[in-house]
Amino acid sequence: MSKEQEKDNKILRLEKELDRLKKNLKKQKYGLVWMDVPEAFEDDVENKLPILKENPKLAIKNNDGKPTHILIEGDNYHALTCLNYTHKGKVDVIYIDPPYNTGSDGFRYKDKRILDKFPDGTEVPKDHPYRHSYWLSFMRKRVELSRDILKEDGIIFISIGEDELAQLRFLCDEIFGGSNYISTISRVAKTASNKGSYFAPSVDFILCYAKNILMIDSFIDEVDIKLYKKEDEKGFYRDDVALYQSSLDPMRGCTNQRYYIECPDGSLVLPPGKVEPKLKKDAQHIKPETAEDKVWRWSYKTYLEKKELLVFKNTKTSPLLDEKGLKAKWNIYTKSYLNERNKTGTVPRNYVDKFINRKGADLLKRMGIDFNYSKPVELIKWLIKIVNKDNCLVLDYFAGSGTTGQAVMELNDENGSHHQFILVTNNEEVVNGTTHKIMTDICYPRISKVIKGYNDVKSLGNSIRYYYTDFVGENNILDATDKDKIELAHNAGELLAIAENTFELVKQDKYMQIFENDNQYTAVYFKEEMNKLDDFVAEVKKLKKDVSVYIFSWEDEAMFDDFEGLSNIRLKTIPQPIVEIYKQIYNLI
């Protein structure tokens, strides 16, 4: 075949492929399509393997029985790569507050195609042609990486403004599946604003998704005790919720909710409508025939069981009808006792107006921290509480000023819980009157103040370990050589300690590391040479608590007989399991 024929055939194949892609594009009637713009990272990390290293000088240790939390300084993409090994399937709740991409919030994207012109990234104004594509490319990688970190019954909350709300909803539907969408919470962010051409922006939103909605329990909110103002022999109660609500649709399964109720004066009342029970008698019911035949909130059986909880109020504005079809003199309300509601809680609303941004900024000001863009601590506490899980592991990989960390520690102090947090943020400079670095000048000092106390605010205790992203090897994971993998094993100690929640280094030499917590050890033999393995085995056999043992091996599974018969040993290998997870991530991105 001549070169001309080869060229023609190649063109023909490309034309067919283009036709196929066009047909597929026409079929996609619903969903999110954008130009996925490649993101650049620094040259020295583009083709290396990420790890986590500890800065022990910044650790805060308290022997107070409270959790040890994790701070990670670095790009959240690299940190999430590491966390996919250390915390795969372990996180209960993720909360993130990413850039809103308003066009004026300073969001920058490192477009790999034009990095030579914009080495610090391209700032994305409102009229930038790739504005939404840049943001979606940035978010997709990170949200996708965080999905596998969640437990099967895990929840993610994402704060977002109206500029990217619609796009984020489509993106999360693709990543988590539309069936795992829970709700969008509207939050009043500002109460006074003159900005905006048509409307003053006052609200933002919190998207909520489950990893697997079939695995989660219902959300439960605390009861607002201020609503329970009245008191009788049974305790405090409220009686301001009417039994008839006009919003109830009679045509949606309300067949037994239209009936007469007898009032204190002997008259009967019924919700508005045309069809009436044949007998004019208390609890006589009839099936609604049209949407105009309104219904009570309770079925007639519930009414008969709980009629002692009804409160009758004489009024001239009753929406109800009497037995003659005339405007009734009574409206009916239900009693709800505080002690009973406290047992069951209440369903949280998807609109909240008590967590305005000003509260977050004012708190940081009182702490002596110069930063204006912090979410209120009470908002994050509320989100964690409504999930209704004990001792959550909470991840925030857009940690900013560290609000999530403070929220977790305050919850632990308030209810004796044992929630733990992982905060991830880079250390970029933030201009806020003066220039600060977000991790070392804002987030870390804030967490430190909460732990140690500040002004007249008491110490909350807790401990933290401070890590940063680092890189080893000379190739990306798909091209990693044996030399790269050996270097990964030599430097994996902190990764393994984080994975096992054993932060205290108790022994280290050129061949091994041993870490500890109150309940177990993590022992690592990281050298490919086995001439010191006997010494390592001897050290491990001295340990009295449970031990997770990691040994260098080119295989996925450990094949060592040295620990046979020891029930307190769990044997694992490095670096291959880390390599396999990194490969999955590289292919995903």
Please provide the distance, in angstroms rounded to a whole number, between the alpha carbons at the two ends of the chain. 39
Q: Is 441 helix (H, G, I), strand (E, B) or coil?
A: helix
Strand order in 569-575's β-sheet?
504-508, 512-516, 520-525, 546-553, 569-575
Residue 583 dihedral angles phi and psi, to the nearest 5°: -65, -45
Q: Is 251 helix (H, G, I), strand (E, B) or coil?
A: coil
Q: Domains in the chain and their CATH numbers? A: 45-221+348-471 (3.40.50.150), 225-344 (no CATH), 474-588 (no CATH)
Between CA 483 and CA 496 the distance in angstroms is 20
pLDDT in tens, the chain (589 residues): 566 766 776 777 677 667 656 655 555 556 677 667 667 665 556 678 999 999 999 999 999 999 999 999 999 999 999 999 999 999 999 999 999 887 766 677 666 665 555 555 556 666 666 777 888 988 999 999 999 999 999 999 999 999 999 999 999 999 999 999 999 999 998 876 667 678 878 899 999 999 999 999 989 888 888 889 999 999 999 999 999 999 999 998 888 999 999 999 999 999 999 999 999 999 999 999 999 999 999 999 999 999 999 999 999 999 999 999 999 999 999 999 998 888 778 889 999 998 888 888 888 888 888 787 789 999 999 999 999 898 999 999 999 999 999 999 999 999 999 999 999 999 887 755 567 899 999 999 999 999 999 988 899 999 999 999 999 998 888 888 999 999 999 999 999 999 999 999 999 999 999 999 999 999 999 998 989 999 999 999 999 999 999 999 887 776 677 787 788 999 999 999 999 999 888 765 5
CB of 517 within 8 A of CB of 504?
A: yes
Count other C-beta atoms under 10 Å from residue 132's C-beta. 18
Between CA 159 and CA 399 the distance in angstroms is 12
H/E element, 239: strand 235-242
User: Which of 145, 30, 138, 274 lies closest to 582 in space, CA to CA?
Assistant: 145
Residues 6+ apart with CB under 8 A from 156: 93, 94, 95, 96, 143, 146, 147, 150, 176, 208, 209, 211
Between CA 325 and CA 337 the distance in angstroms is 33
